[in-house]
Structure 1
Amino acid sequence: MPMDPPPGSPPRVMAVMILCFIQDAADRPEFSDVLRILSPRENIATPAA
């Protein structure tokens, strides 16, 4: 059971908390996805496969 976000948490932080506590680890966001959510104005490069 995930913890509740602290009162007054920014919506983006709450969204990341919810996504990171998804039970199936395969469905959780990649670190680059978390960065995009928290810093949408940053140009974050994705590593080459």
Structure 2
Amino acid sequence: MKYPSVFLSVVFVWLVVDSVAITMGRSSLTYELYVAAIVFSVVMFLIGFWRNK
């Protein structure tokens, strides 16, 4: 994988969001949190791509 640090940070954020959703009493992520995680993943990928250009 070309961007391991970006991938790890995305996974970390995903786990944080998931644990927050569980803490709030939800067994699974809501649609809004799911979309937010995807958007953040794309943004992190673009930032990593731009920095390594």
Provide TM-score, normalisation by structure 1: 0.49
Greater percentage in helix: 2
Give the number of the structure with larger relative contact order, counting CA–CA contacts within 8 Å between residues 6 or more apart: 2
Provide TM-score, normalisation by structure 2: 0.46
